[in-house]
Structure 1
């Protein structure tokens, strides 16, 4: 029996030209009713009397440095039940889904899918009447190389529109330190781990400085997050006090830490 339906595997690469997303990997899931797109920093706004929503997306899995800033006309706000049973109110947008030779308009909800891995979930509402799914296959419509992804996203590296923030601590491998770095980068900030043991100070009444790892001057930070372990409280507080003297915002002051 002939059919004009497109055959998809359980995972496929697609694009959303109207959102400026050149390529993104989708989980094809006929068990899910609604399609969902990974989004952070979701914010509704009004343009020419119409409701819109803007949001950011990290389109490549396990890559928090590449970000796309998107805007779309707001279609609805809807309560969606996730696979874990959690109910969440989400913004709904309509945009064109592009599989190369196959294009059609779909509705998608916006939600943070960091815990789910896939940045895109293609549900059965978006596939109805157009798609057949072969769950044993993947990437039936092609799979890009890493070089191709880098080429497509070479202009999408994070713009330096956020703050430059230093995490002043001792252990870069500590999970909580890693999560603070990741969370800052997701929100558009330039995050740097500053090892307390590798900082030293130039004490000057008019021009105080902090040097790092062989002499680099830390002079252009907007904020510092001190995370000082008890064994180095004295020196950590001295560094924090030096940042304060340099007019850098410190999340916790040296006096408070002491």
Structure 2
């Protein structure tokens, strides 16, 4: 079996991502090598039945956030996980699979649905995503966002 070469991307302490499945673009995110799983801020998370199937419903971001859409989202691709939060406490959370875009590349990734209301960044990117070819330099920030803006300016 051949070793698949992974392109290495340099990322800073923070950046911006797109979540096309939810029509959310340029969402600020914190890069956290201490977190295993990525997370997104949401509220009204509940297990529901939709079209006869189990689903998790949730609302993303807070009404004060500029990208807030006052919209209920559903995911059928979910699971319940036990997570140790940033305060070291154990809690149950739902996680979903979604596509995120970073450095113009699409990544299918798992994100927990978390209450990040008291956090500066609504999205946290953890090791499971970062191990797919990212090197973190905490002295830098917004590298993919700057690249996107530069590419947009050149068109």
* Per-residue CA distance 1:143-184 (angstroms, 9 max, x = gap): 599xxxxxxxxxxxxxxxxxxxxxxxxxxxxxxxxxxxxxxx
TM-score relative to the length of structure 1: 0.50
**For 1:44 and 1:38, how far apart are their aligned partners in 2?**
17
**2:25 matches 1:22:** yes
Does the aligned pair in 2 maintain the 1:78–1:91 contact within 8 Å? yes
**For 2:32 and 2:94, how far apart are their aligned partners in 1?**
20
Aligned to 1:67: 68
**2:13 matches 1:44:** no
* Closer, same or farther: CA 65–19 of 1 in aligned 2, 3 Å: closer
* Structural mapping, 1:162-241, within 5 Å: none
Shift of 1:135: 1.1
Shift of 1:134: 1.4
**For 1:92 and 1:51, how far apart are their aligned partners in 2?**
14
Q: Higher strand share goes to which structure?
A: 2
**For 2:7 and 2:35, how far apart are their aligned partners in 1?**
23
* Closer, same or farther: CA 59–123 of 1 in aligned 2, 3 Å: farther
Shift of 1:91: 0.6
Aligned to 2:133: 130
* Structural mapping, 1:74-85, within 5 Å: 74-85=77-88
Bigger CA radius of gyration: 1
Residue 54 of structure 1, aligned match among 48, 53, 57? 57
Root-mean-square deviation (Å)? 2.4
**For 2:65 and 2:145, how far apart are their aligned partners in 1?**
24
* Closer, same or farther: CA 85–102 of 1 in aligned 2, 3 Å: same
**For 1:29 and 1:59, how far apart are their aligned partners in 2?**
22
* Closer, same or farther: CA 6–38 of 1 in aligned 2, 3 Å: same
TM-score relative to the length of structure 2: 0.80
Which secondary structure state, in structure 2, belongs to the residue aligned with residue 38 of structure 1? strand
Aligned to 1:107: 110
Gaps of 5+ in 2: 150-155
Does the aligned pair in 1 maintain the 2:56–2:78 contact within 8 Å? no
**For 1:67 and 1:22, how far apart are their aligned partners in 2?**
11
Which secondary structure state, in structure 2, belongs to the residue aligned with residue 125 of structure 1? helix
Q: Relative contact order (alpha carbons < 8 A, sep ≥ 6): 1 or 2 greater?
A: 2
Aligned to 2:90: 87
* Closer, same or farther: CA 10–17 of 1 in aligned 2, 3 Å: same
